[in-house]
Chain A
Amino acid sequence: MTFQNPTALLWFLPLATILFVLYLLKMKRRELRVPATFLWPQKTEEIRANSLFQRLRFSWLLVLQLLAVALATVALARPQTSRLGLTGEVTVLVLDASASMSANDVSPSRFESAKKLAREAIQGSSGGDRIALIEAGPSPRVVFPLGRDSARQASALNDLKGTDAPSDMGEALRLAAALVEGIDGARIVLLSDGRFPVVDDFVRGKAAVVYRRVGELSDNVGITALGLGDGPQGRQLFAGVKNYGPAATGGTLSLYADGKAIDSVDFKVGPSKVYGHTIDAPAGAKVLEARIKVNGDKLKADDYSVALADPGAALKVLLVTKGDPFLERALALDPRVTLDRAAELPADADGKYDVVVFDGIAESPVQARGVMTLGAAGPGSPVTARGSSKPRFESQAKDRILDGVPFDGVFVDKAEEATLAAGAKALVEASTGPLLAVREQPGKRQVYLAFDPLQSDFPLQPAFPIFVANALTYLGGEAGTSTLSVATGSTFSVPTTKEATLKGPETEATLKPRNGTAVVREAVRSGAYTLNVDGKERAVFASLRDAGESNIAPVDDLQLGGGAVKAQAAPRRFADFWRPLVALALLVLVGEWWLFVKRS
């Protein structure tokens, strides 16, 4: 038994002294004349005292009061016992559901082993223990909140399947800390292989963090690169395979174009070495896939990768803005977009981005496939601005940019009065001139919106993300792609106003639209998915592209919130038992009171 607050034991001395002093005080008794005293017993109970002093006499009341004080001070010292066990009185189990936890170096997998540990912890917990479980996947979630229903908890635990995606462990730990915030003696139990980035932004508060490492080996070979490049010999496909294990190993690399095998090669690769393989990319192929088969490979999630030949399938976008969360969100959730932000156009932006968006900042000449200007025409814009005023909607043309985007209901406070430049076409007309205009030049497409979205209610309408997606599709330079390539576990959105469905490896999900977009979070396994949006099917390829997850070597020492946390092979649980002591002290006081009343 140990004490969390042993100094509280010292309280017994002054408290007991006070009791003794109170008993030493002599009672001032009421005098009463009686005929004779010889029949009366000399029977005194010193239960009240109000004058000084007398000889201390034995009293059961004093004994009981001292016992109650002793019990109370021991309870204040917070006694606790320790025994083997993951959980405490209040425990949040954080279950790492990242791709590396799919490794099968422990049978059947690290994730299943972690689930088993969690299950044993739930079943071995005491009746009064409260346990919560957080699944630390790409989007951490509370599987069940703090509670005592072990049957329901075990059932919810069994339903967890893990992912082939990197986990957001920082968010999971912050979520765990929030669940036990302010609770003394709480613990956060992390069941993981430790393969996640250093978590800095985490404050554990009063909770203790216990790290139980899962996993033993680092034997893994994974595809680290798959891409297309235009070289002197034409378009070429490059595949890179890295050995993360401690020993040289070999296997077979197979390459596919639009689902048909185009090459297969045996390879050998030393520890921490990369094997590269380049072939001519088949002309017209849109989807290029790579698979490896390696003996003794412990992680399958990174044995598959995909690259799309469609240039519109991946867009590098620069947003030049003073700050517009609506626009940023609409861009970030587009699965094709890799987004950079800047307050002004960087000097080296030429040729670096597929699309540049000027949001409320005057358009500057920039070399990019697409330029979108919102509310601030510049020298290269498809319009010439001459002032600004409140526009009145007049007409809207039929165009794929305006597909699902009605402008007649949009309130605009102020828009630029503009005149179309040469080659430009107005898609939406208003009293102030073109409200939306486009221009297509060789190697460059432009979209001009005559108003800053923040000076309208456009961002609040369901049509806004659809407009952004349509504009990106146009600016991307292709007539529109039906194929997407995403990282496993990434969150992206597709513009739609109807329910969408996603089918793929171990996945079948219905996606409900909100504000004109359906957010997809379910592509957590490597492989090909089919996304059905508005009756049109789109292929979605998810692959693990994370070297941190491919390196499956378990980590013993973690850095969490600036502090080191070491893995514990046999964590001990501490059980407080101050409550029974307090209950016992109260019982003793009740007994003392009963004795007092009986003797009075």
Chain B
Amino acid sequence: MLSAREMRSLNGLRLTPRKSFGGKVRGERMTRKKGVSIEFADYREYTDGDDLRHLDWNVLARLETPVMRTYRDEEDLAVHILLDRSPSMAFGEPSKMDAARRFALAIGMIALAGGDAVYARALGAREPTPPVWRGRASWPRLQRWAERDVMDRPQTLSDGVREFAGSGARPGVVALMTDGLDPDFPSALRLLVGRGHEVWLVQTLSDLDLDPDLEGDLRLIDGEGGSPVELTANGAALAEYRKNLETHQTALQEACRRGGGHSVVVNAKESVDDVVKRAWRREGWVA
């Protein structure tokens, strides 16, 4: 799915969440917790039971006071990759689903390469609780997961997000690959943010979403089973659609930023390279 060139461009990048999350295992990512890494954090008074290896002997000799050196802990980052597999993702050429898979793999590859814990979930798919993948060795498994094309549980995007938020998943970065075309999605995002996650939204849209070229008298059938709409596609109707889309996107951005996250709107036709350069690097998603 990712070309060799794209994989080379992702090499060396690391995810840079704005928030700090506690890890389960020692990893390569600094946390605010004092730990046992080699990076000095602060001094504190000695208390019984402290590891004497971290006693600062020089200070004891000069001041005759036992002072302990503390170090920043290095833990792994939980990166939840949520891939929207709702029917609306099947639209577009190339389809939004294909594009979302590539962006999910890109995030996953960066995370694996950075030693983060990757949890990959497909919204709308009946899947067991995902295992955690760490390290580059997990890359093939991540690829296989992304290539699955199962939509065996009809579920709206917002319901899927709410289900994830209620699953007690470890707080971390939630990378959402979706078109976001669900009127309740902003409130679902706010719920997710409320659970302590930092939401990174990659809203993948097709030309039909961004610049619909409709004409005439139409009956629009909702791809996700919503109410049909009768429409005379003229200038006024298209203008109103664009205004509604803009309002919806603004609501999504607000929800993401409220939790310190990011959001970017990408065209399904865009390459991973372009998105990395245009948004992820510039807005500090990766470094």
Contact = CB atoms under 8 A, between A and B. Distances in A.
Contacts of B220: 31-34, 37, 40
A35 B244 contact: no
Interface in B231-253: 231-232, 234-237, 240-241, 244-245, 248
B221 A31 contact: yes
Contacts of A38: 181-183, 222, 226
Contacts of B91: 34-35
Contact of B226 (A29, A36, A41, A42): A36
Nearest to B244: A39
Contacts of A40: 220, 229, 231, 237, 241, 244
A386 interface: no
Contacts of B96: 35
Contact of A37 (B179, B227, B235): B227
A401 to B, nearest CB: 98
Contacts of B228: 37
Contacts of A45: 217, 232, 234
A44 B235 contact: no
Given A32-B218, A35-B181, A35-B209, A41 B224 contact: no
A30 interface: yes
Contact of B237 (A31, A35, A43, A48): A43
A35 B223 CA distance: 5
A408 to B, nearest CB: 94
Query: Chain B's interface: helix, strand, loop or mixed, by majority?
Result: mixed
B248 A42 contact: no
Interface string A1-45: 000000000000000000000000001011111111111111111
B149 interface: no
Nearest to B224: A36
A43 B220 CA distance: 11
A33 B225 CA distance: 10
Interface residues of A, number: 23
B230 interface: yes
Contacts of B219: 29-32
Contacts of B221: 31-34, 37
Contact of B217 (A29, A33, A598): A29
A233 interface: no
B249 to A, nearest CB: 10
A34 B224 CA distance: 9
B52 interface: no
A30 B228 CA distance: 12
A32 B208 CA distance: 12
B88 interface: yes
Given A27-B217, A29-B218, A37 B229 contact: yes
A599 interface: yes
B62 to A, nearest CB: 70
B71 to A, nearest CB: 50
Contacts of A35: 88-89, 91, 96, 179, 181, 206, 208-209, 223-224
Nearest to B87: A35
A8 B201 CA distance: 69
A47 interface: yes
A526 to B, nearest CB: 84
A274 B244 CA distance: 107
A155 interface: no
A47 B220 CA distance: 18
A44 B226 contact: no
B170 to A, nearest CB: 31
A33 B224 CA distance: 10
Contacts of A598: 234-235
A39 B91 CA distance: 16
Given A35-B181, A35-B208, A41 B240 contact: yes
A441 interface: no
A36 B203 CA distance: 14
B214 interface: yes
A44 B223 contact: no
Contacts of B183: 38
A43 B232 contact: yes
A600 B244 CA distance: 21
Given A29-B218, A45-B234, A39 B224 contact: no
A38 B222 CA distance: 8
19 contacts: A29-B219, A30-B217, A31-B218, A31-B219, A32-B218, A32-B221, A34-B208, A35-B89, A35-B96, A37-B220, A37-B228, A38-B181, A39-B181, A40-B231, A41-B244, A43-B236, A44-B232, A598-B235, A599-B236
Given A35-B208, A39-B248, A45-B217, 4 more contacts: A29-B218, A32-B221, A34-B208, A599-B234
The 8 closest A-B pairs by CB, nearest first: A35-B88, A36-B181, A29-B219, A45-B232, A37-B222, A39-B244, A37-B229, A41-B240
